[in-house]
Each structure stands twice: as C-alpha cells, then as structure tokens.
C-alpha cells in the first residue's frame, strides 16, 4: 500500500531558501514611495526593516543559506508531512491522486512561523530590541510572538478590533508568548487616533493596524516592523514548504500536474 504520509528525517530538511526573483523572465518593478511616487530605496526602508532583510528583499541570488539558529527552530516541527488525501479522493470519486502539505503541525498552528522565525532572528542579529506588527485573526501575531520569545525580543501587536473582541483566546496565546496586544484602532498612535476621531466605534481594518504598527516601528528607538506576507523576503522564507514537497514527491515517484494554493497576500502560494 502506498503511504498516507511521506515524512522526511531531520537531516533531510532543505538548508537553503529558493528566491524566485532569480528566475523571473523580467525583473519585478520596484515598489513606489507613497510620498514621492519614486522607486523605494534601501534608505527609505531602513527605518522599517533591518538591512539584512532589505538585502534579501532585493536579492537576485537563486539560493540563500538558512542560518543554523533558524534551522534549529524549524526542526521543532519541520520537515512537515506530505499527506495523501485518500478520503477526499473517495468522496470526489477522483480519477487522480491528491496530496497536501500539512503545515498545521507548527507550534503556532500555521505556515506563518516559516518566516516569523527568520524575521525575528535577522532583527536580533542586527541589534533590534523590539518588533511591531499587525494581525487580523491572530495567526501572524501568534507566529511572531512565538518567534520573538525564542530570540528574547519584545513584540507589540496591533490586532484588528473586531477580531480582538471576537477571538480573545488568540490574544491570550500571544500574551502567553510575551507580546503586548492592542486593539486597533488604538489611542497610542496618530494613525489610530485619527480613525477614532472620525469614527469612535470603528471596528478596525488590517490597513489601520498596519499603519499603527509601522508608525510605532519608525517612531520608537531600536524597533522595526515585521510583515507576514506580500514581500519577497517572506515568500523566500516560505519556499521551505515547496522545497520539502519536491523531495517528498520524488520519494513516492510522483510529480504534480497541478499545484493549488490559496492566495491572499501571497506567502502561502509563494
């Protein structure tokens, strides 16, 4: 019988991330500065991200080594299993094999720690003492809170107010890891106060929470901002999923005809 789970040994974990920018047919256009409309420079990003992550953001190198301290934390749950969805195949009467990569075995319960851990690590070695971030339902905030606890860093989380009220246990998990969690919009940033002044009952949005977190990072000494999706260095870190999956599919002599992934900010699909 073919295996239901394909599991790699610890020593088989990939030791490099894959950077898709090396293989794009044409380079991506740079993001534009919201104030000037000109391409963003490293100097523009320096108050928000540490330079070692900015270097990853713009790197054209195909392979980037995973630091040993990051690999040590990955090995708490990685490599993650590749599973055969046998019951789903039966339900659909599918003429094909369906596999899925199970990322729920991380301590935070999602794929988010794949980038939270390296982000905390790179900030730590750069000399940053504190991170700020936003979270919607709480998955990213939980992952970064865990990562900051691993590396002895402080974390401030702006959680979208409606989720803050609806999901108190997510807040509790973040606080258990040592993070401070604020309902966003809050009264501790200019961005939050402006929203509350216009609408005291505002239930929040991810955009507002991001604005508050970035404002705190830029305005607080030894503080930078952590983002869980969208950016290239995030997709780079998440490539660990696909790299493991390729090894696992080779082990059962399979290669996918189609790969399906949900895409919000893009980190999972990346």
Which residues have CB under 8 Å from 69's CB, separation 6+? 121
pLDDT tens for residues 186-212?
A: 999 999 999 999 999 999 999 999 999
- Specify the pLDDT at position 204: 95
Percent of the chain with pLDDT over 90: 87
At residue 227's C-alpha, the angle toward residues 181 and 234, to 5°, is 145
- Specify the pLDDT at position 265: 80
Which residues have CB under 8 Å from 122's CB, separation 6+? 50, 52, 53, 56
Helix (H) or strand (E) holding 211: helix 206-219
**pLDDT (average), residues 120-142:** 96
Peptide bond into 40 cis (omega under 30): no
**pLDDT (average), residues 80-94:** 96
- Specify the pLDDT at position 35: 82
Q: Are strands 99-101 and 130-135 parallel, antiparallel or unpaired?
A: unpaired
pLDDT at 220 over 90: yes
- Number of Cβ within a 10 Å radius of residue 241: 22
- Specify the pLDDT at position 87: 95
**pLDDT (average), residues 78-85:** 97
Please report which confidence band the pLDDT of residue 141 belongs to, taking 50, 70 and 90 as the band edges: very high
Q: What is the pTM of this model?
A: 0.94
- Specify the pLDDT at position 214: 96
Nearest in space to 237 (alpha carbons), one of 104, 70, 100, 123: 70
pLDDT at 104 over 80: yes
pLDDT at 34 over 90: no
Nearest in space to 81 (alpha carbons), one of 109, 98, 102, 108: 102
- Specify the pLDDT at position 2: 77
Distance of CA 55 to the CA centre of its chain: 17
- Specify the pLDDT at position 42: 85
**pLDDT (average), residues 125-135:** 97
Residues 64, 52 contacting (CB under 8 angstroms): no
Please report which confidence band the pLDDT of residue 60 belongs to, taking 50, 70 and 90 as the band edges: very high
Residues 19, 64 contacting (CB under 8 angstroms): yes
Residue-wise burial string across 7-33, b where 16 or more C-beta atoms lie within 10 A, e elsewhere: ebeeeebbeebbbebeeeeeeeeeeee
- Specify the pLDDT at position 36: 87
- Specify the pLDDT at position 116: 98
Residues 161, 209 contacting (CB under 8 angstroms): no
């Amino acid at each position: 019988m073919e295996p239901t789970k394909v599991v790699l040994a610890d020593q088989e974990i990939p030791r490099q991330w894959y950077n898709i920018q090396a293989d794009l047919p044409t380079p991506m256009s740079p993001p534009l500065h919201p104030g000037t409309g000109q391409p963003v420079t490293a100097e523009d990003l320096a108050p928000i991200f540490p330079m070692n992550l900015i270097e990853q953001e713009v790197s054209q190198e195909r392979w980037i080594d995973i630091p040993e301290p990051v690999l040590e934390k990955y090995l708490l749950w990685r490599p993650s299993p590749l599973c055969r969805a046998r019951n789903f195949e039966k339900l659909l009467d599918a003429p094909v094999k369906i596999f899925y990569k199970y990322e729920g075995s991380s301590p935070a319960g999602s794929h988010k720690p794949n980038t939270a851990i390296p982000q905390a690590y790179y900030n730590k070695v750069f000399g940053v003492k504190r991170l700020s971030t936003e979270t919607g339902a709480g998955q990213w905030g939980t992952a970064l809170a865990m990562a900051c606890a691993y590396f002895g860093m402080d974390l401030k989380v702006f959680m979208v107010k409606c989720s803050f009220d609806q999901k108190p246990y997510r807040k509790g998990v973040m606080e258990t890891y040592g993070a401070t969690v604020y309902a966003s919009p809050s009264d501790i940033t200019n961005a939050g106060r402006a929203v509350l002044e216009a609408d005291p009952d505002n239930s929040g949005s991810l955009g507002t929470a991001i604005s508050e977190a970035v404002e705190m990072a830029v305005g607080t000494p030894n503080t930078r901002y952590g983002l869980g999706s969208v950016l290239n260095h995030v997709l780079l870190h998440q490539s660990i999923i696909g790299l493991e999956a390729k090894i696992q599919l080779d082990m059962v002599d399979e290669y996918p005809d189609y790969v399906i992934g949900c895409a919000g900010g893009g980190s999972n699909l990346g």
